[in-house]
Chains A and B, each alone.
Chain A
Amino acid sequence: MTVPTEAYVALSAALFAIGAMGVLIRRSAILVFLSVELMLNAGNLALVAYARHWAGFDALAGLSGQTVVFIVLAVAAAEVAVGLGILVAIFRDRSSTDVDALSGVRL
């Protein structure tokens, strides 16, 4: 029997929430980044699940959903490249990746 779409959505939500938790909890910038990737993937999961759902009615809808995921993947890749480049540049300057210390705004 087919797993209902809602199950996948719930799973996606859980992964997203966990990723969000990670963003807030982790001190090191790289680990924050890792959590962000997790969140992205959770989103992808939801997209694919819905793509399959709507594919039951219309082919284009289903395939479009998967194509969007494809694009998201590409974007994620570019984002990671640039983000890690930024991180490296910051680390060069400060020798630290502590997120709290990175802020330029003083209270």
Chain B
Amino acid sequence: MTGAWSDPVAWAALAPLFALAGALLVGLFGRRWPEPLPGVVASLAIAAAFVVAAVASVGLLGRDAGVALTLWPFLPVAGLDVSVGVVVDPLAATFLLIITGVGLLIHVYSIDYMRDDDGNARYFALLNLFVASMLVLVLADSLVLLFVGWEGVGVCSYLLIGFWYRQRANADAGRKAFIVNRIGDAGFLLASFLVAATFGTLTIADANAQAGSFAFGAGVLTAIGLLFLLAAAGKSAQLPLHVWLPDAMAGPTPVSALIHAATMVTAGVYLVARLSPLYAQAPAASAAVAWVGALTALIAAVAALAQTDIKRILAYSTVSQLGFMFAAVGAGAYAAAVFHVFTHAFFKGLLFLAAGSVIHALHGEQDVRRMGGLGRRMRLTGSSALVGTLAIAGVPLLSGFFSKEAILGGVWNSTLVEDYGSRLLFALLLVTAGLTAFYMFRWYHRVFCGESRLARDVAAKVHESPGTMTAPLVVLAALAAVAGYLGLPAFAFPNWIKSWLAPSLASVGALHPPLWVEWLLVAASVVAAAAGLAAGWWIYERGRGALAERVGGGVMGRFARDGLGFDAAYRAGAVSTAEGLAAGLAVADRDLLDRGIAAGVTTASWLGRAVAAWQSGFVRLYALATLIGLTALAVVVAALGGRA
């Protein structure tokens, strides 16, 4: 065991400890530190974790297997031996790099964004704690430890969404996120129970190994897969549990960037990817995953068209992109999904940080209808936002293009969901890609281009954000531009990321159509992107923007803006029921308990008054009472025959 620690790959297990140490230090003492110190300490903790992650990743190059390390026994129960351990393999290392790398950039960004906030230390402590939990989730070797990290990120998400808890709306948003997550967690627990019952183990590697010996499409595997889908849908905001993510924008923008774009929401994708051997054996469950993803992608894209808040557009966009990732893991293209997680972390994180930069410069304005023309005044923010927009739209040669192309190709060529409508899935995703390009163009244009619709007093003070905020933007923009070259289309080019991830993921056979079909698919996605951007240009740049916005404000638009009725349905169904129940119980509490107790009180005081009559101060009454007592005694003795 000690020998294993000499292996630099194993040092990745220290990453969560660095983050946790940062969280404790800043959490316990940060309140008394002068301003940038909490942020700097927190950033250093993440930097240390990043270094360890990088070292581990380098160490994994050229090896075909990862390192599995058991740290200590946890639950040695007969028949189910659970211990705390880590697995550091390419999949884990990829996520480690994303979490610590993007996390470090966001920490640095936050130093200026959260300047002068009362809860500065609390913010950084929570952010570090979040990173620690996410790292535990990613490194876990058993479902139990994974769940610990799963819950940890849920709690930190709740605390950070409701960071400015003094506004009721923020606290409500945090609560909504937590409750919806909880539904997913129930799925996770049920699935874990089923895994333990079926495979007799909660260690992921063992469960995956045993899954292969089950019949293809076995019912129990499908059941496990569906339950884990429920869990992933809750955490990654897929239908029907996606309603919390748009509201989660109530938290500070760096939080939205880190948690709700780059890391926590990808935990669902990670879960399915980790269990890929199991899903590969359960096509029905995989198909469910894929369909949930595709439908979510489309619906969220439609909703994004009608949003007017700069962050809510991005939130729905995140939901939509996650749908893409789910479609990919459902279809068996696990590497493509993880690749998209990788690139999405860069461009979505970039877009959120740019939005934060804008909000910061406009002193809290978040309505895109009151923005415009900012690209001229905030050059760095504007240009990096442009890079991000083009990347997410799928413009060729930027990272988003390559990862989206990998997903589309993977879905079309999928053998796993071939019988479940893989071509239809492809079509949905293609349309969504077009919509994505369109609404992202709209986002960019409304904020940075055209004439300024800013309020007069705000317009005077607009300026570019300080260096600690724009530097991460530049770094992320660079990554969003070039990261795609790690995953060139596999059919014709060396796809490095696929071979890097291969040891961690199940290999599912794919169709290999002739080369021209593959190139046609690539062309199709380029056309979709182009169409979306062109439509955006035609409407917004060519001056029909006002008309379009009026349409967006109409009945259909409002329906879309309100999340296509999901929130309303939940409110009518679940929330009203709960409130009705609470009101009923309140009546019972008030009328039964309170009145009952009041009646008791009245009785007691009546009794007291009755007895108080004996304390009249009327001496003769006392004397009479004494005499009566004595007489009673005499009578008793007499009654007993004179012998007492």
Contacts and interface: CB of A to CB of B under 8 A. Distances in A.
Interface in A67-107: 99-100, 102-107
A23 interface: yes
22 contacts: A20-B627, A23-B623, A23-B627, A24-B620, A24-B627, A99-B619, A99-B620, A100-B618, A100-B619, A100-B620, A102-B619, A103-B617, A103-B618, A103-B619, A105-B615, A105-B616, A105-B617, A107-B612, A107-B613, A107-B615, A107-B617, A107-B618
Interface string B603-614: 000000000110
B624 interface: yes
Nearest to A27: B620
A34 to B, nearest CB: 14
Contacts of A107: 612-613, 615-618
Contacts of A24: 620, 623-624, 627
Nearest to A25: B620
Contacts of A102: 619
A99 B617 CA distance: 11
A103 B618 CA distance: 6
B617 A106 contact: yes
B623 to A, nearest CB: 5
Interface of B is mostly: helix
Most buried by A among B615, B616, B619, B627: B619
Contacts, number: 29
Nearest to B617: A105
Interface of A is mostly: loop
B499 to A, nearest CB: 99
Interface residues of B, number: 11
Nearest to B613: A107
A107 B621 CA distance: 13
B619 A104 contact: no
B644 to A, nearest CB: 16
Nearest to A103: B617
Q: Which 6 pairs, one residue from A and one from B, show the smallest C-beta to C-beta distance?
A: A105-B617, A103-B617, A107-B616, A20-B627, A24-B624, A23-B623
A73 B620 CA distance: 26
A99 B624 CA distance: 14
Contacts of A100: 618-620
A27 to B, nearest CB: 9
Contacts of A105: 615-617
A23 to B, nearest CB: 5
A104 B617 CA distance: 7
Given A24-B627, A103-B619, A107-B616, 13 more contacts: A23-B623, A24-B620, A24-B624, A100-B618, A100-B619, A103-B616, A103-B617, A104-B617, A105-B616, A106-B617, A107-B612, A107-B613, A107-B617
A7 B137 CA distance: 101
Interface in B585-640: 612-613, 615-620, 623-624, 627
Nearest to A20: B627
Contacts of B612: 107
Interface string A19-30: 010011000000
A23 B624 CA distance: 9
A17 to B, nearest CB: 9
Contacts of A99: 619-620
Contacts of A103: 616-619
A97 to B, nearest CB: 12
A20 B628 CA distance: 10
A106 B617 CA distance: 6
Contacts of A23: 620, 623, 627
B641 to A, nearest CB: 15
A62 B351 CA distance: 115
A40 to B, nearest CB: 15
A25 B600 CA distance: 39
Contacts of B624: 24
A44 B623 CA distance: 21
Nearest to B624: A24
Contacts of A106: 617
Contacts of B616: 103, 105, 107
A54 to B, nearest CB: 18
A12 B622 CA distance: 23
A28 to B, nearest CB: 12
Nearest to A104: B617
A105 B619 CA distance: 10
Interface string B469-499: 0000000000000000000000000000000
Contacts of B627: 20, 23-24
Contacts of B615: 105, 107
A90 B627 CA distance: 26
Most buried by A among B615, B617, B624: B617
Contacts of B613: 107
A20 B627 CA distance: 7
Contacts of B623: 23-24
Interface in B366-389: none
A100 B616 CA distance: 11
A102 B612 CA distance: 19
B628 to A, nearest CB: 10
Interface string A32-71: 0000000000000000000000000000000000000000
A33 to B, nearest CB: 13
A106 B616 CA distance: 7
A58 B60 CA distance: 115
A88 B344 CA distance: 105
A103 B615 CA distance: 11
A20 B624 CA distance: 9
B568 to A, nearest CB: 66
A64 to B, nearest CB: 23
A100 B624 CA distance: 14
A102 B616 CA distance: 12
B627 to A, nearest CB: 5
Nearest to A26: B620
A107 B619 CA distance: 12
Nearest to A29: B619
A103 B620 CA distance: 10
